[in-house]
Structure 1
Amino acid sequence: MLDVVSGIIVSMRSQILIIVVLILSALTNTIEASAKPELRGCWVSGWGDGFLTPEQADETIRLAKLANLNTIFVQVRKVGDAYYRSSFEPRATNISAPDDYDPLAYIIEKAHAEGIKVHAWVNMFRVWTGSTPPSNQQHVALRFPGWISKRYDGNINASDGLFLDPGVPEVCDYTLNIVVDIVRNYNVDGVHLDYVRYAGRDYGYASAAVARFNEETNRCGIPAPNDPEWCKWRRDQVTSLVKRIYKAIKQEKPDIIVSAAVVCWGSSSDNFENTSPYLKVHQDWLSWLKMGYVDAVVPMNYKNESVVREAKWYRDWLDAFRRWRVERHIYNGLLFLADSDKVVRQIEACRHRNIAGIVGFTFNATDKRKSLVETLRKTVFSEFVNPPTMPWLASDISNNTQGCIFSKEKH
Structure 2
Amino acid sequence: MRNYSLLLFFLIGFVPLLSAQSKYPKHEFRAAWIASVVNIDWPSKKGLSTEDQKEEFIRMADFLQASGMNALVVQVRPVADAFYESSYEPWSAYLTGKQGQAPEPYYDPLQFMIEESRKRGLEFHAWFNPYRATMNADTTVLDSMHALKQHPEWFVKYGKRFYFDPGNPEVRSFVQNVIMEVVHNYDVDGIHFDDYFYPYPVKDEVFDDSLSYEKYGSEYEVVGDWRRANVDQLIKSVYDSIQAVKPYVKFGISPFGVWRNQSLDPEGSETKAGVNTYDDLYADVRKWLQEGWVDYVVPQLYWTIGFPPAAYDKLADWWSQNTYGRHLYIGQAMYRVKNGKDRNWHKLNQLHKQLQLNHEYPSIQGSIYFSAKSFKKVPEKVLKKIKKKHYRHNALTPPMPWKKQGDLEVPVLLEARKQEDKVRLRWEAVPGQTSSFVIYRFQGDQAGDLSDPQNILTVLSAEQLAKGEYMDQAVKKGKTYTYCITSIDRANNESKPVTLTLKGKQDAWQNELTRKD
Query: Could you tell me the TM-score, scaled by structure 2's length?
Result: 0.62
Q: Is the 8 Å Cα contact of residues 176 and 245 (structure 1) preserved in structure 2?
A: yes
Counterparts in 2 of 1:196 and 1:130: CA distance versus 1, 3 Å:
closer
Aligned equivalents of 1:116 and 1:297: distance in 2? Answer: 19
Q: Deviations over 1:207-231 (max 9, x none)?
A: 54123235445xxxxxxxxxx6221
The equivalent of 1:336 in structure 2 is 334
Could you say what secondary structure the match of 1:34 adopts? coil
Q: For the Cα contact (< 8 Å) 1:105–1:186, is it kept in 2?
A: yes
Where does residue 184 of structure 2 map in the other structure? Answer: 184
Task: Output one character per residue of 1:175-220: Cα deviation in whole Å (capped at 9) or x when no partner.
Answer: 0000000011111000001245211477653354123235445xxx
Could you say which residue in structure 1 is the equivalent of 2:418?
Answer: none
Q: What amino acid is aligned across from residue 332 of structure 1 in structure 2? A: I
Give the C-alpha shift of residue 382 in structure 1: 1.1
Task: Output the CA distance in 2 between the equivalents of 1:109 and 1:95.
Answer: 18
Which residue is equivalent to 2:86? 86
The amino acid that maps onto 1:45 is: A
Deviation (angstroms), 1:376: 3.0
Alpha-carbon shift at residue 116 of structure 1 (Å)? 0.6
The reply on whether 1:386 has 2:386 as its aligned counterpart is: no
Match of 1:50 in 2: 42
- 1:121 is aligned to 2:127: yes
Q: Which moved more, 1:189-198 or 1:39-48?
A: 189-198
1:331/1:370 CA distance change after superposition, 3 Å: same
**Aligned equivalents of 2:248, 2:112: Cα separation in 1:** 21
Q: CA deviation at 1:138?
A: 2.0
Q: Answer yes or no: is 1:210 the counterpart of 2:213.
A: yes
After TM superposition, the structure 1 = structure 2 runs for residues 278-297 of structure 1, keeping only pairs within 5 Å, are 278-297=278-297
Structure 2 Cα separation of the partners of residues 370 and 257 of structure 1: 33
Q: Which of structures 1 and 2 has the larger relative contact order (alpha carbons within 8 angstroms, sep 6+)?
A: 1
Confirm or deny: 8 A CA contact 2:259 2:286 kept in the other structure.
no
- In the other structure, the counterpart of 2:226 is 233
AA at the equivalent of 2:295: D
Say if 1:113 and 1:203 are closer, same or farther in 2 by CA, change over 3 A.
farther
Give CA-to-partner distance per residue, 1:78-118, whole Å, 9 cap, x none.
Answer: 01111112121111112256352322211111111111100
The answer to whether residue 274 in structure 2 is matched with residue 271 in structure 1 is no
Which residue pairs with 2:109 in the alignment? 103
**1:318 is matched by which residue type in structure 2?**
A
Q: Is the 8 A contact 2:131 2:163 kept in 1?
A: yes
| Structure with more helix by fraction | 1
- Scaled by the length of structure 1, the TM-score of the pair is 0.78
Tell me, in whole angstroms, the C-alpha distance in 2 between the residues paired with 1:234 and 1:389: 33
Structure 2 gap segments, 5+ residues each:
1-18, 45-52, 97-102, 338-347, 407-517
5 Å-filtered alignment, 1:3-22, equals none
Contact kept in structure 1, 2:259 and 2:277, CA below 8 Å = no
How far apart in 1 are the matches of 2:278 and 2:284?
5
1:155-170 paired onto structure 2 within 5 Å = 156-158=157-159, 161-170=161-170
What does 1:303-322 correspond to in 2, within 5 Å? 303-304=303-304, 308-309=307-308, 313-322=311-320
Q: Give the distance between the partners of 2:42 and 2:210, measured in 1 at CA.
A: 39
Higher strand share: 2
Give the RMSD, CA atoms, in angstroms. Answer: 2.7
Runs (4+) off by over 6 Å: none
Q: Which residue of 1 aligns with 2:366?
A: 357
Tell me how far apart the structure 1 counterparts of residues 181 and 358 of structure 2 sit (CA, whole Å).
35
CA distance in 1, matches of 2:153, 2:207: 12
User: 8 Å contact 1:257–1:295 — kept in the other structure?
Assistant: yes
Q: Distance in 1 between matches of 2:250 and 2:368?
A: 15
| Mapping for residues 41-80 of structure 1, pairs under 5 Å | 41-46=31-36, 47-51=39-43, 53-80=53-80
CA offset at residue 299 of structure 1? Answer: 0.9
Question: Aligned letter for 2:330?
Answer: N
Over the matched positions of the two proteins, sequence identity in percent amounts to 26
- What count of residue pairs does the alignment treat as equivalent? 349
